[in-house]
Amino acid sequence: MTAVSEASTETSLAQLLDLSGQVALVTGAGQGVGATIARYLAAQGAAVAVNDYRAERAESVAGQIRADGGTAIAVPADVTDYPAVRSAVERVSGELGPVSILVNNAGNAGAGPRAGRRGPFWESEPADWEPFLAVNLHGVLACCRAVLPGMVHSGHGRLITVISDAGRVGEAGMEAYSAAKAGAAGLMRALARSVGRHQVTANCVAIGLTDTPTLAAVTGDPELTRKVLSNYLIRRVGRPSDAAAVVTLLASPAGSWITGQTYPVNGGFSVSQ
């Protein structure tokens, strides 16, 4: 291979992850995995709308992206509030352009969660389930509904939902959470079928134990961490960058022929064919 052809190949490979001209909305991006995803997408050239239900967190991440030379705005909203989601998407479209990449990252029990307890499902009540269903399923429905008309109209789009391995293999004591994440994965598969002809893809990234602020209770206890990691083939806690790298791939031109899939980023917590 000549030097010229090698240089040409390198350029084309770089372009596979190029997000220049794209507008990304990342929900729950005020910290942890979402914040890292927002920074990764911005580093590849996307203009990023940073969502969080806490305005100060969203603005902090957007400010970091701008300080690094990227383009970003903060769009605080609770993803379970559909009118607020629609307003946020309209604002993004007005300031950055139509959303072409949606990353549904907001999860857990959402804004102002109830004091949770892990116990037998048969002792739980509907009020215990609702916070998990609201943000992990209804929030994904709301965000997809808000951005899809623009994607279908333009003939291009990426829908990426961050779920948990709990949604793939189940988690005892977290039945409502597992059900909501599995529901979100089902939604992505259904949307992949309904919008693929419009060049819109829909995929999930299923993460395992990841070092985020909400996981401090585990990672701050060395003995508990060791016990938990014994279930992982790669015996380390996941990093936000692990998930962000796969999300970036799916958002990029390199992921243009991938749809309806769930990619486990879980250190080997669960394996399948």
CA angle, 213 as apex, 207 and 214 as ends, to 5°? 65
Number of Cα atoms under 13 Å in the Cβ half of residue 94: 7
Work out the number of other CB atoms within 10 angstroms of the CB of residue 207: 26
DSSP state of 53: S
Contact call for residues 111 and 165 (beta carbons, < 8 A): no
Which of 40, 177, 232, 263 does the annotation list as catalytic? 177
Q: To 10 degrees, what angle do helices 175-195 and 126-133 make?
A: 40
E-strand spans in the chain? Answer: 23-26, 47-50, 72-74, 101-104, 157-164, 200-207, 262-265
Annotated active-site residue 53? The verdict is no
What is the C-alpha to C-alpha distance for residues 165 and 154, in angstroms, rounded to an integer? 33
Q: Which of 67, 66, 88, 68 is nearest to 76 (CA)?
A: 88
- List Cα–Cα distances, 22 to 60, 184, 186, 205, in angstroms: 22, 24, 26, 20
**Which residues are known to be catalytic?**
177
